[in-house]
Structure 1
Amino acid sequence: MQPFHRPGDTPVHRLPAQVKIVTALVFVLCVVATRRTEFLAFGLYFAVLAGVWTVARIPPVWLAKRALIETPFVILALALPFVAGGPTVDVLGVAVSEQGTLAGWNILAKGTLGVLVSLTLAATTSPRDLIVGLQRLRVPAMVITIATLMLRYLEVIAAEARRMRTARICRGHDPRFLWQVGATARGIGTLFVRSYERGERVHLAMVSRGWAGAMPDDPRPVGRSAWLLGLVPAAVAAAVLVGVSL
């Protein structure tokens, strides 16, 4: 089971993977290129994403739970107004740095939108389709191979780590104790060695079965209508960026 993929039969799910990858890339570039003081623009970007979620039938709660991955950056953004220097302004009776507040807002807005775009792409595109989409976009074969192995065996390595942790606890190991950090470090080293060895065996098995660095693909070209429909969010984001830049 893939934690970031949400199977469905919606217009967004049915779009070719390469179209969604290009759209996500253009959308993120527009967000990054927007000045941090253009607050309305960030609201419009979020509205576009909300429209995509509605069409793809992705519940906001499902996205919110997985967006917690950016918590460290949120903490940094919230701390900047209090630790940065420069001129200060009063917010609810508290003096905060003006530059720090803008910098924190910049990290929070752009980081959150970037994470949400990535989650939307992952939710509507299976891992295999993502690999095929990158392949159709002429991404180097070595990158395709690395991404294929990573997506296929990330859960296997995580399961191995959980089994090793359970075995250590059954033998009296308690990761809460500071003096047992050495055992934890050795466990991480063992996991790395096991993962490396398993990766070599898997790659050898793939080559023995005819793996040539490319996923089987459908040779049929993507129609113009699919590109026009899929690039609508990117076109709207580009229009917003141009509008606020004038």
Structure 2
Amino acid sequence: MGAGAHPLYRHADSAVHRLPAEVKIVGLLAFVLAVVATPRETLWPYAGYALIVLAVWRLAHIPLRWVLPRMLIEVPFVVLALLLPFTEGGERIEVAGLSLSVAGLYAAWGIVAKGTLGVAAALAVAATTSAAQLPAALSRLGAPAVVTSVLVLMIRYVDLLAAEAGRMRMARISRGDSPRALHQAGAIARGIGALFLRSYERGERVYVAMLSRGFDGHAPDLAAVGAPAPARGVQWAAALTPAAAALTVTALAWTAG
């Protein structure tokens, strides 16, 4: 993994990639709030939101074959949502011989539609924003310095922990372990415990090393330490255009309703 990258980041040169991270974070938050605020009984606004997301994907050079498999993360929530028409009470209708709750159908639709749009928008931001940009962006948005410092350490050491877990798995396999066999669940659990202890010990060593270098418990302002220039007005306007369009759709949905 390259410096400042994460598994969802796509290296590309697009207008969305070049936007500062803080404007994309605010734009994502505003878009999600607009989607969540939309009445679930009104269906047409969700098509408008989908078009906005597709336009951002196109502008950021994000192909559907890359993003669609990564949206499977929401499958567990979709499965739970599909149970609502059977479990909710109230007025019921017959669909293909099944008695379904009208309120449950609307609830399931709202969860699936809003969840899918939220995941799609979040993937657009993740695919165009490197991990190295996030700490400074959060600092500029007013996040506590401790939070941004924890984020920096997490970004730095999550790959180390993943590599350590991979080495432990390879060591088990080389000794005849079969990770998919049920009787190996105990060995896997002990491996997770060992990884936790190693992570804890590594954290202690890192903290001692920080103290030896003058760390006094106060996190630095990461927006002023080697960070790129803050966003300009034109960049804010460009990044918030999709969110503004989504908010307009939301307002029209409530007005028309």
TM above 0.5, yes or no, is: yes
Instruction: Tell me the CA shift for residue 180 of structure 1.
Output: 3.5
Does 2:178 correspond to 1:169? no
CA contact (8 A) 1:90 1:96 kept: yes
The one of 159, 167, 170 aligned to 1:155: 159
TM-score, normalised to structure 1's length? 0.90
Q: Give aligned pairs, total.
A: 246
SS in 2 for 1:96: strand
- The alignment's C-alpha RMSD in Å is 2.1
Q: Output one character per residue of 1:120-147: Cα deviation in whole Å (capped at 9) or x when no partner.
A: 1111110011222111112101111121
Identity across matched positions, percent: 51
Pair 1:172–1:85, CA change in 2 (3 A):
farther
1:52 is matched with: 56
Consecutive unaligned residues in structure 2, runs of 5 or more: none
1:143 is matched with: 147
SS in 2 for 1:174: coil
1:190 is matched with: 194
Pair 1:78–1:232, CA change in 2 (3 A):
same
Query: Amino acid of the residue matched to residue 236 of structure 1?
Result: A
Does 2:237 correspond to 1:228? yes
2:91 is matched with: 87
Instruction: Tell me the CA shift for residue 184 of structure 1.
Output: 2.0
Instruction: Tell me the CA shift for residue 220 of structure 1.
Output: 4.0
Equivalent positions of 1:207-246 (< 5 A) are 212-215=219-222, 216-218=225-227, 220-246=229-255
Query: Amino acid of the residue matched to residue 84 of structure 2?
Result: L
Q: Which segment drifts farther, 85-94 or 49-58? A: 85-94
CA contact (8 A) 1:141 1:214 kept: yes
Instruction: Tell me the CA shift for residue 189 of structure 1.
Output: 1.0
Cα distance in 2, alignment partners of residues 208 and 38 from structure 1:
60
Instruction: Tell me the CA shift for residue 106 of structure 1.
Output: 1.4
Cα distance in 1, alignment partners of residues 148 and 188 from structure 2:
32
TM-score, normalised to structure 2's length? 0.87
SS in 1 for 2:100: strand
Does 2:119 correspond to 1:110? no
1:120 is matched with: 124
Q: Which segment drifts farther, 229-238 or 155-164? A: 155-164
Q: Output one character per residue of 1:64-112: Cα deviation in whole Å (capped at 9) or x when no partner.
A: 1111111111211223223333332222343322222211111111111
Consecutive unaligned residues in structure 1, runs of 5 or more: none
SS in 2 for 1:231: helix
Q: Which segment drifts farther, 96-105 or 84-93? A: 84-93
Instruction: Tell me the CA shift for residue 209 of structure 1.
Output: 5.7
Query: Amino acid of the residue matched to residue 142 of structure 1?
Result: V
CA contact (8 A) 1:144 1:213 kept: no
